[in-house]
Structure 1
Amino acid sequence: MRVLVDVSHPAHVHLFRNAIGEFERHGHEVRVASREKDVTTDLLDAYGIEHTPLSSKGSGAVDAAREWTGRGARLLRLAASFDPDVVLSRLNPTAAYVSKLVDAPNVIFHDTEQAGLLDRVTTPFAEVVCTPAEFARDVGDNQLRYEGYHELAYLHPARFDPDPIRLTDAGVDPDEPYTVVRLVEWSAHHDSGTAGFSPEGIRELVDRLSEHGAVYITSEAPLPDDLAAYAAPVAADAMHDLLAFADGYVGDSGTMATEAALLATPSVRYDPYDSQMGNFETLAEYGLVESLTDERAVIERAVDLAADPDAGSRWRSRRRKLLGEKVDVTAFMTELAAEVAGE
């Protein structure tokens, strides 16, 4: 079969990369439409995935409208020439509309309850909308709930084995204590009107965590000069290795909080807008992610975990329970794509 995969964000690379490999190993033809945003194309290159960049992220509403209009036209040309049997995407109206225009079923993977308008103008055009079982909303008759998370498409033990050599080559000692801090840019469509850590909060967090080991910051925005020395030294495609050997994670990224949790790394998530997301409610029930709305509480809890020598063993036990109840999402994805495509 011919599979078209739309990748417009770094998280999409991780979600689909193992499925792309499986499709190719089974002799299927794959085309990847990419977008120059953050490290999206760098990750695709690092994983050896051939792709066609269709647009670049700009700044502001005017640039966004211009980008997505142009991207839609270019995606339509690509799809028309490729003639896909199935289109895989995250929640992306452009991919959904193009799929309809070329008469190819679109399988959407969706896990963000706060998507709002984007959700309503996209999901009706999809053949299947896959959501985690815990997803807090019904999105239509084409919704398919599954026992897993997007992050288990690439962090399930069947798909990922952390490599300490990649860390030592970058100057990180996996046997010494360290914490990973993630700072997001808060510019996504569902982030309007919100903000992450304050500059003062970040500096206090880093200072206090440094008393318990190294601190590595990964940030979407450039770090100020006084924090630049804390920038994580590993390549973008080694970030999961860094998380896997970390003694703790703290940040305002929901994706990375989930990734840390699924790697049994004690995880504290700063959620300033108190989002009601089924994934995090379930991960909290497993005891794998602690989501807090107050910056002061986040700092105190992260420091407490960094000072707790038994936190890691508790998280590993909780992870084992979760993995016994969830699926290999890549296997689910490839089987579903073949079914929808009529293979």
Structure 2
Amino acid sequence: MRIWIDFINSPQVSFFEPLINELTKSGHEIVLTCRDSANTVDLIKQRNWEHTIIGTEVKKTTVKKLLAFPLRIYALLSFLKNKRIDVAICQSSFYLPLTARLLGIPSIYTNDNEHALGNIPAFLFATKIFIPENLSLSKVVKMGAKRSKVCKYPGIKEGVYLWPKGVDIQSKRATKDFSKHAIYVRPEPSTAQYYSGKHNFLDQLLLELKEHHPITILTREKAQLAHYTQSAFSGIEVPVKPLPFEEVATNCALFIGAGGSMTREMALIGVPTVSVYQGELLEVDRFLIAEKLMIHKSELQYKEVEAMIAAKASQDVNMSLINKGKEAYQLFKQAILKYNKQ
């Protein structure tokens, strides 16, 4: 079977990694396209996946995004028209469902961000829609999803791909010495359509923290990399390439996240996590906060971080979400294989 997957942002690479690995080993062919945005291409290259880059990151204005949408659809159609695709699947690629519909192939779409406007065309044209169990069905219906298309999966999106690594990382963390209090920071998703919060708002906190703790900033794109490699931030580690997830999750004493996916990944895996996201929280974030797996403070102060570190910011690991992730993974795999014609 020939399966098309489209990536338009970094977190989607991790989401599909276990599925791509298993399906490839089973003899299925993956046709992979991606948009050159954030760390997406670097992450794909780390995994040595064959891929085709179609399109680049779009500047954050509604007009430019609207103009870029049909141009990328046309480019995808031109590339895929003779590829004999059996089924298409994506996580948050708003382009894929419409392209698949125009090509006459079934598509599977999943998203856990109820604020993303790109859901509207995606819900309309997708053959099947997957949402996490904590996302209200009424919210996706209001954005145009037909109830008959929607399937809820157990747990949260991050569990779908972290379940194979979860137990191993947790066992490594149990023997780790966190006395050096390594803090990892993920800045805000400044170019995302849904983000309307402040930019570089963590700067003062980082300048205070770096005098007392090892800090690593996991930037999203070139502008952030340029900003945090200025002399004012000397002493802070700013990797040019994305770090392996296992490295961050194993070594992190405290994670401060101004965005979504990586913050939820760390919370799920048992890393003490503080969300400083400036926009309206998603239902999945509220769920993690209610489960006491994550703290949310839109304005985080240096003294608060020190208090968390002094208290070791410890929390229990909710293994039920890891187990649910495995169940959700099987649902996605079965949905794809349903279209196997052999």
* TM-score, L = length of structure 1: 0.84
Partner of 2:151 in structure 1? 144
- 2:89 counterpart residue number: 88
Which residue of structure 2 aligns with residue 170 of structure 1?
A: none
Per the alignment, do residues 240 and 186 of structure 1 end up closer, same or farther by CA in structure 2, a change over 3 Å counting?
farther
Alignment correspondent of 1:336: 335
Instruction: Give the AA of the match of 1:178.
Output: A
SS state of the match for residue 236, structure 1? Answer: coil
The structural deviation recorded for 1:206 is: 4.4
What displacement does 1:203 show? 2.2
User: Residue 23 of structure 2 corresponds to which residue in structure 1?
Assistant: 23
- CA gap of 1:123–1:130, structure 2 versus 1, over 3 A, is same
Letter in 2 for 1:270: V
Q: How much has 1:186 moved relative to structure 2?
A: 1.9
Q: What is the correspondence of 1:190-269 to structure 2 with a 5 Å cutoff?
A: 190-191=194-195, 193-198=196-201, 201-208=202-209, 210-211=211-212, 213-220=213-220, 221=224, 222=226, 223=228, 224-233=230-239, 235-269=241-275
Tell me the CA shift for residue 226 of structure 1. Answer: 1.1
Matched residues in 2 for 1:207 and 1:39: separation? 27
- After superposition, residues 1-343 of structure 1 pair within 5 angstroms as 1-61=1-61, 64-65=65-66, 67-115=68-116, 117-136=117-136, 137-139=139-141, 140-141=146-147, 142-158=149-165, 161-162=168-169, 176-191=180-195, 193-198=196-201, 201-208=202-209, 210-211=211-212, 213-220=213-220, 221=224, 222=226, 223=228, 224-233=230-239, 235-275=241-281, 277-293=282-298, 295-296=299-300, 299-309=302-312, 311-312=313-314, 315=315, 317-341=316-340
- Matches of 1:177 and 1:258 in 2, distance apart? 20
Contact 1:43–1:237 under 8 Å retained in 2: no
Amino acid at match of 1:243: A
How far 1:232 sits from its partner (Å)? Answer: 3.7
SS at match of 1:114: coil
Q: Is the 8 A contact 1:152 1:328 kept in 2?
A: no
**Which segments of 5 or more consecutive residues in structure 1 lack a partner in the other structure?**
166-172
Give the match's secondary structure for 1:50. Answer: coil
C-alpha displacement at 1:322, in angstroms?
Answer: 3.4
State the number of aligned residues.
324
CA distance, structure 2, for counterparts of residue 98 and residue 19 of structure 1: 22
Q: Is the 8 A contact 1:85 1:341 kept in 2?
A: yes
Closer/same/farther in 2, CA of residues 151 and 11 from structure 1, 3 Å limit: same
Counterparts of 1:20 and 1:65, CA distance in 2 = 31
Within 1, Cα distance between the matches of 2:234 and 2:108? Answer: 40
Does the 8 Å contact 2:154/2:327 carry over to 1?
no
Cα distance, 1:258 vs structure 2 = 0.3
Given that 2:94 and 2:118 are in contact with CA atoms closer than 8 Å, whether structure 1 keeps it comes out as yes
Q: What is the alpha-carbon distance in structure 2 between the residues aligned to residue 260 and residue 210 of structure 1?
A: 24
Q: Normalising to structure 2: TM-score of the pair? A: 0.85
Structure 1 residue 123, shift from structure 2 partner: 0.4
Contact 2:166-2:269 at 8 Å conserved across structures: no
Conservation of the 8 A alpha-carbon contact between 2:39 and 2:242: yes
Rounded Cα–Cα distance in structure 2 between residues aligned with 1:319 and 1:128: 29
CA 1:96/1:50 → structure 2, altered by over 3 Å: closer, same or farther? same
Contact (CA 8 Å) 2:9, 2:37: kept in 1 or not? yes
Contact kept in structure 2, 1:109 and 1:130, CA below 8 Å: yes
Task: Note the C-alpha offset of 1:58.
Answer: 4.2
Amino acid at match of 1:319: N
- CA drift at 1:306: 1.7
For the residue of structure 1 that corresponds to 2:279, the secondary structure is: coil
Q: Structure 2 vs 1, CA of residues 278 and 152 (structure 1 numbering), >3 Å: closer, same or farther?
A: same
- RMSD over aligned Cα atoms: 2.8
Gaps of 5+ in 2: none
State the shift of 1:332 in Å: 2.8
Determine if contact 2:169/2:269 at 8 Å carries over to the other structure: no
Instruction: Note if contact 1:268-1:302 (Cα within 8 Å) is conserved in structure 2.
Output: no
- Mapped to 2, the partners of 1:176 and 1:85 lie a distance apart of 51
Contact between 1:164 and 1:241, CA under 8 Å: does it hold in 2? Answer: no
